Amino acid sequence: MLEYHTSKSVVTVQCAFRAKYTKDPPTDKTICAWYKQFTQNGCLCKQKSSGHPLTAEDEVEQVRVSFLHSLKKSTATTAKELLMSKTTAWRVLRKRLVFKPYRIQMVQQLDKDHRCQLDFCLQLQDLMSSNDHFLEKVQFSDEAT
């Protein structure tokens, strides 16, 4: 920047750059932009970007109430109801409210004969209380026989 400030010539700066670094110099627009930034800010540091704006607390509360009212509701449905983007609704759920998605799955249908199941459990409890090593002799399997 000192070279441009003293000579006011982009070509002089490009020649000095090429001589010092032995590579192609920055364009004239880049040099002028750097000089302008240096004179305004006193630094060529990258300015902090603003990022995406934070969601307001009242919108976070609306999403929370909406999902507590109906847990089966989709993110898209909630976003449409609250007039916000699906991404915003998803971010609020995952990052601000720390809700985790899940799906209830029925993996096995239980018999209607609950008395038989209860008797089996009581019998197992009796066997375990009478013999401390009973469970070491039982082999558990996930296969139906």
- The pTM (predicted TM-score) of the whole model is 0.40
Q: Give the start-to-end residue ranges of the domains of the chain.
A: 2-41, 57-96
- pLDDT interval class at 106 (50, 70, 90): low
What DSSP string describes 63-117? HHHHHHH-TT--HHHHHHHHT--HHHHHHIIIIIS-----------PPPS-HHHH
Q: What average pLDDT does the chain have?
A: 83
User: Is residue 63 over pLDDT 80?
Assistant: yes
What mean pLDDT comes out for the span 93-110?
A: 76
Cα separation, 131 vs 50, in Å, equals 68
Share above pLDDT 70 across residues of the chain, in percent, rounded to a whole number: 86
What mean pLDDT comes out for the span 89-115?
A: 78
Q: pLDDT at position 80, please?
A: 93
